Amino acid sequence: MATYDFLFENLGLKDWCSDGGGDRPVSMADLLARKKGGAAETSVWDTPFPSMDALNEACSKFPKSRDLTIGLEDGFLAIKDALRFVLDPITEPLSWMLDGAMWLAEATPWWIVIPVLLLITYFVSRSWSIVFSVGASILGLAFIDHYLPAIQTLSIVFVCAAICVALGVPIGIAMSRSNRLQRAVLPVLDMLQTLPTFVYLIPLIFLFSVTESKLYGIAIILYAIVPVIRLTDLGIRMVDKDVLEAAQAFGMTPRQKLYQVQIPLALPNIMAGVNQTIMMSLAMVVIASLVSAPGLGVLVLRGIRNLELGVGLVAGLGIVILAIILDRVTKSALARVNAAQHH
Amino acid sequence: MSAPMISIRNLYKIFGANPAAAMAKVREGMGKEELNADYGHVLGLKDINVDLMEGEITVIMGLSGSGKSTLVRHINRLIDPTSGEVLVQGENVLDYGEETLRDMRRKTMSMVFQHFALLPHRSVLQNTATAPIVRGEDKAVYEPEARKWLERVGLAGYEDSYPHQLSGGMKQRVGIARALTSNAPIMLMDEAFSALDPLIRTDMQDLLLELQVELNKTIVFISHDLDEALKLADHLVILKDGEVVQQGEPQHILLNPEDDYIVDFISDINRARVLRVRSIMEPVKQDVSHVGEVQREATLEQVIAQTGGESIGAYLVKHEGDVVGELNMSTLVRSLVPQKRSGQ
């Protein structure tokens, strides 16, 4: 006898419940209860909450809560092929880009890669002290034989951050122009940002094979695209109303306003978003090593898995160094933009 | 008299969720307070009729909240009216589609803003050339033009500076140069000098008058400062709570205020500095002997200085060599006394 038998009796559903109820697979708990005789009357103190499982005890026709999650799995599996059919070709270029960048970074000898990186650093930051610290960091990592994983991590971050910017800025602009779109997108961004990172790896693992690099690419992009969208939207919405009115009064078309006024004036905010996006891709690339993303994250994972304390710590330190140089370089670019249009 | 450059006809502007419904109430005679209290709509402008003549400076004056900035934005349709017409060179701008409207803003009108509204990421020269850049003109054509106007407003040598490197007065000079570079016949100036220091403001007013002598633009100038309005205006429109209280030639308004509000308004100004001989002169009487000559366009302050404070006798009024009237010093003294409010 279960606690909620009376409910189904009173509702006159007893027949429906007992009808063919015996074929269901029996759980361990059921067996135990059956062995005990199941006659023990539960006291009021122990009354279970009328949850799906408790009700299932009274009526075997009533679904258990596991049935709910099974339903979700079945549903997902049912649409999986269709989803894959659509998403696979769309996301295929991502794999090519990640693999291509990785191949390029690995195939090019170190004595070309390092100077090129320093040159990029100089053009972005225009500061010799930053170029020097970036050079020291990379040479240091190379000296302790972490050059390859570091360069792998960097190439993933570059590709993913570039795609985030290419997608995020237009989305942010569209959001800034439509309040309705903003209301629709903001909860999605909130969800992407708060959902534990492992959780959205789950459907991705179902959809794509773990050997494909786009799997971790998508995970990183979904996670890292949020700040660039948010800050583009915010930046364009914060553009001085007076200046916009002047643009209007001089007869600018909406396109002229966007390219000649709104984007240039929102640039400091957009750059702050790009900085955040790069930092978040770096954070995610470590977690993505769980789904076969190469780079320093793999070493961290090895440290955890094999209890190789030193390997994990040094690789972790390497990630910190990469984070610092990426942050410094993008921040100095941001500072330059800010200085150019200080109000 | 020629046709007005800009005509504003029966213009109404109502702010709120449903202006059309509120408009019907206003037509039935509902007042501003009632409309706001019962329907939550604000009557911004009520039945405005103003003609702006070509080549004149029309000053629209009123305190904050009187609707003056709203009114000027109806001329280039930064704001659309609830009802009424705005005719520019005979065409109703409310009939314009997006394309025509943009064309008008690019070619017929330019605007100067209270807070300058320069593009912070562009150099002074590029800012000045905003209008030709928007029109898509060739750099080789507009650059000399922009340089010319920058020099004209006294900013030669600042072409490559950025707005944040300039002081407020200099920024507004760029704003004026930007408006002039557009080469539009109409210039809208929304409280253009209100954010500037008093001394710089006077400089800028002089600059504007100086430019106007040679350019003869149709200027709509918004101001809350009566001294500024009297100094600049060929035609003065006084707004209060969204309605025109009185409009006309400034001297005329000063001597014949139609409303207690205006009497109050003009009671504090220095009348001797604003009134001119032409406004108070009389036809020459043959039997009066004249103690001297004064110019028709002289202010009364200048006349008093000229007479050394003597307040009796009559002067011959001359203009470009001809005698045009006579000025009695007793009339002059009387004209300096502000009118009392009718209730007092």
Q: What is the pLDDT of residues B197-207, one digit of tens each?
A: 888 889 889 99
A21, A43: one domain: yes
Q: Examine residue A92 and state whether it is found in any structural domain, yes or no.
A: yes
A276, A336: one domain: yes
Q: Which CATH class is domain B53-84+94-270?
A: alpha beta
> What is the radius of gyration, based on Cα positions, of chain A?
28
- Residues of B numbered 198-257 whose beta carbons fall under 8 angstroms of chain A's beta carbons: which are they? none
Whether residue A327 contacts residue A134, with contact meaning beta carbons closer than 8 Å, is answered with: no
A92, A228: one domain: yes
How far apart are alpha carbons B328 and B312 in whole angstroms?
8
Q: Which residues of A touch B118 (CB under 8 A)?
A: 243, 246
A14, A145: one domain: no
Last residue of a domain, one of A19, A36, A63: A63
Q: Examine residue A80 and state whether it is found in any structural domain, yes or no.
A: yes
Backbone angles phi, psi at A38, to 5 degrees: 60, 15
Give B253-277 pLDDT, tens digit per residue: 888 888 888 888 888 888 888 888 8
- CA-based torsion, B113, B115, B116, B121: positive or negative: negative
Q: Which residues of A touch B113 (CB under 8 A)?
A: 242, 245-246
**Largest Cα–Cα distance of chain B, in whole Å?**
70
Q: Which residues of B touch A243 (CB under 8 A)?
A: 117-120
Amino acid at B225: D
Answer yes or no: do B117 and A240 touch at CB < 8 A.
yes
Q: Examine residue A238 and state whether it is found in any structural domain, yes or no.
A: yes
Give A61-80 pLDDT, tens digit per residue: 888 888 899 998 898 888 88
Name the band, by pLDDT with cuts 50, 70 and 90, for residue A20: low
A154, A25: one domain: no
A211, A329: one domain: yes
How far apart are alpha carbons A193 and A96 in whole angstroms?
27
Count: domains in chain A:
2
Answer yes or no: do A340 and B103 touch at CB < 8 A.
no
Q: DSSP letters along A143-181, please?
A: HTT-HHHHHHHHHHHHHHHHHHHHHHHHHHHHHHH-HHH
Q: Where are the domains of chain B?
A: 53-84+94-270, 272-335
Choose the CATH number for B272-335 among 3.40.50.1000, 3.90.1280.20, 3.40.718.10, 3.30.360.10: 3.90.1280.20
Q: Examine residue A68 and state whether it is found in any structural domain, yes or no.
A: no
ipTM of the prediction greater than 0.85, yes or no: no
Q: Examine residue A70 and state whether it is found in any structural domain, yes or no.
A: no
Instruction: Classify residue A28 by burial, with Cβ atoms within 10 Å: 0-12, 13-18, 19+.
Output: exposed
Instruction: Classify residue A290 by burial, with Cβ atoms within 10 Å: 0-12, 13-18, 19+.
Output: middle
- Distance (Å) from the alpha carbon of B133 to chain A's nearest alpha carbon: 10
A201, A256: one domain: yes
Q: Examine residue A212 and state whether it is found in any structural domain, yes or no.
A: yes
- CA-based torsion, A320, A322, A325, A327: positive or negative: negative
A55, A137: one domain: no
Whether residue A17 contacts residue A61, with contact meaning beta carbons closer than 8 Å, is answered with: yes
Report the residue of A239, A242, A250 to disrupt the B interface, i.e. the one with the largest count of B CBs within 10 Å.
A250
A160, A126: one domain: yes
**Among A121, A147, A65, which residue's Cα sits nearest to residue A333?**
A121
Name the band, by pLDDT with cuts 50, 70 and 90, for residue B344: very low
Report the residue of B70, B79, B101, B134 to disrupt the A interface, i.e. the one with the largest count of A CBs within 10 Å.
B134
Name the band, by pLDDT with cuts 50, 70 and 90, for residue B28: confident
pLDDT in the model for residue A33: 61
Amino acid at A281: S
Out of A149-153, B187-191, B290-294, least confident range: B290-294
Q: Examine residue A71 and state whether it is found in any structural domain, yes or no.
A: no
- Two domains, one topology: B53-84+94-270 and B272-335: no
Partner A contacted by B102 (CB < 8 A): yes
A195, A237: one domain: yes
Range(s) of the domain holding residue A15:
5-63
CATH of the domain at A286: 1.10.3720.10
Q: Could you tell me which chain B residue has the CA closest to the CA of A244?
A: B117
pLDDT in the model for residue A26: 57
pLDDT in the model for residue A19: 66
Structure tokens at A175: 């959001």
Give A280-326 pLDDT, tens digit per residue: 999 998 888 988 889 999 999 999 999 999 999 999 999 999 999 99
Helices and strands (DSSP H and E) totals, chain A: 16, 0
Q: Examine residue A175 and state whether it is found in any structural domain, yes or no.
A: yes
Give A115-143 pLDDT, tens digit per residue: 999 999 999 988 899 999 999 999 999 99
